[in-house]
């Protein structure tokens, strides 16, 4: 009968592998930054550019710099994590990590957001935005039915006016198009 040996050629048990992955979870951010950098660079380098551009700086410059920066940051972060660097825990928020996630709030916010995305075309931004702001306030715990709809309507109309009239970003007005 032979005794099991613990040399480097034997695979690590799954418990140790999970612990290593948990200790190096920041590598997921590195992968995300790497993928985003490759996507930005691929898009920038395959961009059609008009030959009549003026000067050495064209429309490809900023995306190439941003994509290269993302790749450099991903590499530096990966080296730091593999050398034992760890991100600091959030100290600015009062979050108890032992408590489970509040999935009701997450699902309510998701529903409100998707509902406003569906309603923005038929109802217009002012109405859909007001429903979005009111629904978000309700999902996050506000139960002031006398005040919240009014605040949501004011915020939505001001946002519509700023984007549509001052910034020149056309937003759908819906049935209120002639009134606004």
On whether residue 96 sits in a domain, the answer given is no
Query: What is the helix (H) or strand (E) element at residue 75, kind and residue range?
Result: helix 61-82
> End of a domain among 82, 116, 139?
82
Whether 5 has a pLDDT exceeding 60, the answer reads no
Answer whether residue 93 is part of any domain. no
* Assigned domain for 150 exists: yes
* Overall average pLDDT of the 140-157 stretch: 93
State pTM to two decimals: 0.52
pLDDT mean across residues, the chain: 84
The verdict on residue 1 lying in a domain is no
Note whether 30 and 62 are same-domain residues. yes
State the total domains in the chain. Answer: 2
**Domain-embedded: residue 3:** no
Q: Provide the token pair at 36.
A: 């985003």
pLDDT band at 119 (very low <50, low <70, confident <90, very high): very high
Percent of the chain surpassing pLDDT 90: 49
E strand residue ranges, 95-144: none
Sign of CA dihedral 58, 60, 63, 66: negative
Residue 97 maps to a domain:
no
CA dihedral 97, 99, 100, 103 (to 10 degrees): -100
pLDDT at 180: 61
71 with 117, same domain? no
Of 24-33, 47-56, 79-88, minimum mean pLDDT range: 47-56
Quick one: average pLDDT of 29-44?
A: 94
Tens digits of per-residue pLDDT, 78-111? 999 888 877 676 665 666 667 788 899 999 999 9
Residues 21 and 75 in one domain: yes
Same-domain status, 75 and 108: no
User: For residues 86 and 83, what is the distance between their CA atoms, to the nearest angstrom?
Assistant: 9
Domain span at 34? 13-82
Q: Is residue 112 located within the same domain as residue 170? A: yes
* Residue 5 domain flag: no
129 CA to centre of own chain = 20
CA distance 87 to 109: 28
Tokens 């948990």, residue? 22
The tokens for 50 are: 């008009």
Point out the least confidently predicted range of 112-116, 117-121, 129-133, 163-167. Answer: 163-167
Burial of 124 (0-12, 13-18, 19+ CB in 10 A): buried
Residue 16: burial class (beta carbons within 10 Å; 0-12, 13-18, 19+)? exposed
Rounded Cα–Cα distance for residues 180 and 178 (Å)? 6
Any domain includes 120: yes
Whether residue 57 sits in one domain with residue 125: no
As a 3-state breakdown, the chain gives helix, strand, coil percent values, each rounded to 5, of 60, 0, 40
**Domain end marker among 29, 51, 82:** 82
Is residue 49 domain-shared with residue 116, that is, in the same domain?
Answer: no
């Amino acid at each position: 009968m032979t005794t099991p040996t613990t040399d480097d050629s034997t695979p690590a048990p799954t418990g140790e592998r999970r612990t290593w992955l948990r200790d190096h979870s920041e590598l997921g951010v590195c992968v995300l930054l790497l993928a985003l950098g490759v996507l930005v660079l691929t898009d920038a380098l395959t961009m059609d550019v008009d030959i009549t551009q003026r000067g050495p700086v064209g429309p490809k410059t900023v995306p190439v710099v941003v994509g290269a920066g993302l790749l450099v940051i991903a590499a530096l972060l990966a080296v730091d994590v593999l050398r034992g660097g760890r991100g600091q825990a959030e100290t600015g928020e009062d979050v108890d990590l032992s408590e489970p996630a509040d999935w009701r709030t997450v699902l309510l916010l998701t529903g409100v957001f998707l509902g406003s995305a569906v309603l923005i075309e038929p109802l217009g931004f002012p109405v859909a935005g007001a429903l979005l702001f009111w629904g978000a306030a309700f999902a996050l715990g506000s139960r002031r039915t006398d005040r919240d709809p009014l605040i949501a309507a004011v915020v939505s109309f001001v946002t519509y006016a700023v984007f549509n009239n001052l910034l020149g970003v056309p937003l759908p007005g819906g049935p209120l198009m002639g009134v606004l």
